[in-house]
Each structure stands twice: as structure tokens, then as C-alpha cells.
Structure 1
Amino acid sequence: MNFHTKLAPMNGLNKYRQRFLDDWYNIDGKAFFFVLCLLYFSAFLIKRMFIIDSIAAFEILQDRGEMWIMDVFFGLQYLSVPIFIAWKFTLTSFLLWVGCFLFGYRVTYAQLWKMVMIMELVFIIPELLKVVWFTVFETDPTYHDFVAYYPLSLINFFNYESLDAMWLYPLKALNLFEILYWGMLVAGIYWLSNKKLKISIFITLSSYVLFFFLWLIYYVIVYK
């Protein structure tokens, strides 16, 4: 009796997981990638219109007719979005795939790529929070204020003007959304593999998270 009682919830969970995987495979990856790019484009455009264009230094460039230089720069930024996020998804998925392979987890590269792409949505939130911060609270920023700020990151505990420039990126990269992303990767691997949660944590820590910290260390060393 107890065996059947325990077995029934497990069967229900497996059915729910299978339904989830069926829906997962039905997601149009190309369409979702396109929507994700549009979200980033929209976030950049809003920041440009409501924050950057109102910064005094850029108003001076506009009056001098020299703003076209920055227009070219921001245009290249928009064009780089699909390339950058596609490269990020490819590298992250490969790291996780290697981790799964080493631990004997049968998760395909395509599954991981789609998982990583969908979970990228978490990084849209700080882009929107940045807009809110500079349109509601910090209404007269300099361009350096704008560049140095990242919501809920370690950089907010320091005076960026007194820091060596090599620490700005690492301190911004270490933020609450990045940690939340790690947890989402763990949950994704656990759900896709249908294996132990503990091993999913090890896979994420020994692949993506390890590479993330190695990249930050490399950045600091090279910046010197």
C-alpha cells in the first residue's frame, strides 16, 4: 500500500515532466531568439532615448553636430546583439553539455541551447531596472555613472570613481541576477535529465560557474 502510494505521485511527476518536454520541443527556437533580440533592442533604445540623450555631455555633442559618432557606436551595439547572445548561448551550452557528459547525464546540446536561450530572459530585468533607476531616482547622471551602474551588483557597494578601472566589469558581473541564473541552470539540467539535483548542482558549478570565474580572473590579469 505504501509502495503504491509513493509510486503514484512519482508517475504523476513523470507525466508532467514528459508533457513539459513535449511543450519544450514545440517552442520555436528561431522565433524566440528573434523576440529576445527585440527585447534587447527595445531596452537599448529606451535607455538611449530617456537616459543617454539627456546626459549633458551628449547634449553638447548634439549642439556641435558631432553626435553622429555616438550614433555609429550605438548602431554597432544594436547589430552586435544577435552575434553576442548567439555566441554566449553556444559557449554556455557547450560548457554545460561537457559537464553533463562527464557526469554521465544524457542531455542533448540542442536541449541545453534552448534552455540557455530561454533563461536569458532573466538578464532583461536589470536592463529595465537600469532605466527605472536613471529616470526616477538618478535623474542627472554622467555617462560614467550610467556605464558603472548595474542593479543589485557588487559595484554598488563601492565608489566606482575610486576603483581601478579593471575592477568595474567584474564587480558589475557579480550580481544577484547572475546568481539567480546559476540556480535556473541547475533547475534546468535537473528537469531535463530527470536525475539527482545534487549532481545537477555539481555540473553547473564545475562547468559554467567555474568558467565564469576563470573569465573574470583572466579579464583582471589582461587588463593590467
Structure 2
Amino acid sequence: MTDEIYIQHLFKQSSIEKIDEILSLRAEWSWLNFLIVPLIHIIKVLLISFWILCGMIIFGFKSNFNSIIRVVLVAEFVWLLPSIILVFWFGLIDTSYTFSDVQTFAPLSLLILFDASQLESWLIYPLKSLNLFEVIYLLVLALGIKKIIKKDYDSALKFTLPVYGSALVVWILFVTFLSINLGA
């Protein structure tokens, strides 16, 4: 995201002085991303692992937290694919993009079936979240859980689908609730 993209997006809403202030603030605090992004990913992995551990207890499987964390960490590599596609798309194919284009870019999701500019803002996140990468993530997670519970893949998938699926639904509802209440 270059300064030009931010200027394009903010130009309709703010004065030049305000845009300069926002860009200088962004540059001044950009180092914070190096702390926040890894922290968010660590929290995400821990929450998903904890949710799966709770599911293991409920379903009567025995496991330790470390083995679940390892499985979740391996599955997290699936999320590199949409990032690579995003960089490839806006780096080589669509080089004249806007801030909105990047925000609503969701390859292989339900959002591509709609015109994002015509949708209510609270609908964008749920439609972006329901995508092929989420399915691949679930399948990779089930593969790792198969090794933990020492059952066949079908049993692992029957465990993973409701456990991870319920976590995903709760998360999507939470973000949608925030979107509606914060007016984003």
C-alpha cells in the first residue's frame, strides 16, 4: 500500500493537511506493525488450539496442547496462498488499483459473486471469510488431527468440521456484530 493509494482513498474525505498528517503518522508508527502482526497471529493460533483442545475434551480424545499448537501452526501456512495471490494480482495484473480494491480483494470467496460496492459494509467480511482457502485450512487441520487422535481421516474430519466450524461461525458473527455496531 503506497502513499498514493492512501491519498486516493482519503482525498474525498479529508483536506491535504489532514492527509499529510495521516501519512506522517503512518510512517512514524509503521514499526508497530512488526510487533502487532506477529502478536495477532500468536493469539489466533492459541485461540484456535484452545478451541480444538476443548473439542477434544468434549469428544473424549486425549491430547496435549503442544501437539495441537503444532497442527494449527502447520495449517496456518495455507493462509500464505491468498497473500501470494494478492501480491501477484496487484503487483503484475491489476497495477492501477484503489484502496477499496485491496480491501475487497478476496480470491475464491463468495464475495466474488457480488459487486462489493453495492453491498452493505457488514456483509463484506462474512462473504470474504467463506472461501476455498478456509476449506483447505479445515482439511489440513483434519489431517493433523488425524495423527493426534490416531483415527482415520473421516473420523478426524467429523471432529474438525463441527469444532473448527463452530469457532469460525462464532468469529464471523463477532466481527459482523462489531461491523454493524461500529458502523464500519
Match of 1:100? 56
1:68 aligns with 2:24: yes
User: Hey, what's the Cα distance between the residues in 1 that align with 2:144 and 2:26?
Assistant: 40
Match of 1:187? 143
Change (3 A) 1:195 1:218: same
TM-score (norm 1): 0.69
Identity, in percent, stands at 28
1:57 aligns with 2:13: no
Change (3 A) 1:161 1:74: farther
1:154 aligns with 2:110: yes
1:140 aligned partner, one-letter code: S
1:74 deviates by 4.3
Match of 1:197? 153
* 1:80-119 Cα shifts (integer Å, max 9, x gaps): 1111111111111111111122222222111000111122
User: Hey, what's the Cα distance between the residues in 1 that align with 2:102 and 2:160?
Assistant: 32
User: Hey, what's the Cα distance between the residues in 1 that align with 2:38 and 2:174?
Assistant: 25
The total of aligned residue pairs comes to: 173
Unaligned stretches of 5+ in structure 2? none
Change (3 A) 1:215 1:196: same
User: Aligned with 1:55: secondary structure?
Assistant: helix
Match of 2:78 among 81, 106, 122: 122
* 1:127-147 Cα shifts (integer Å, max 9, x gaps): 111011112221111111111
| C-alpha contact 1:96 1:203 (8 A) present in aligned 2 | no
Match of 1:79 among 4, 21, 35: 35
User: Hey, what's the Cα distance between the residues in 2 that align with 1:194 and 1:161?
Assistant: 47
| C-alpha contact 2:8 2:98 (8 A) present in aligned 1 | no
User: Hey, what's the Cα distance between the residues in 2 that align with 1:137 and 1:111?
Assistant: 40
Higher Rg of the two aligned structures: 1
1:94 aligned partner, one-letter code: F
1:167 deviates by 1.2
2:33 aligned partner, one-letter code: Q
User: Hey, what's the Cα distance between the residues in 2 that align with 1:159 and 1:69?
Assistant: 32
| C-alpha contact 1:55 1:140 (8 A) present in aligned 2 | no
Change (3 A) 1:75 1:154: farther
| C-alpha contact 1:186 1:200 (8 A) present in aligned 2 | yes
User: Hey, what's the Cα distance between the residues in 1 that align with 2:91 and 2:76?
Assistant: 24
1:178 aligns with 2:134: yes
Match of 2:87? 131
User: Hey, what's the Cα distance between the residues in 2 that align with 1:157 and 1:72?
Assistant: 38
Change (3 A) 1:179 1:93: same
1:214 aligned partner, one-letter code: V
| C-alpha contact 2:48 2:167 (8 A) present in aligned 1 | no
TM-score (norm 2): 0.82
* 1:155-205 Cα shifts (integer Å, max 9, x gaps): 222111111111111111111111100001111111222113333122212
Identify which range, 120-129 or 97-106, moves more after superposition: 97-106
Unaligned stretches of 5+ in structure 1? 1-47
1:218 deviates by 3.1
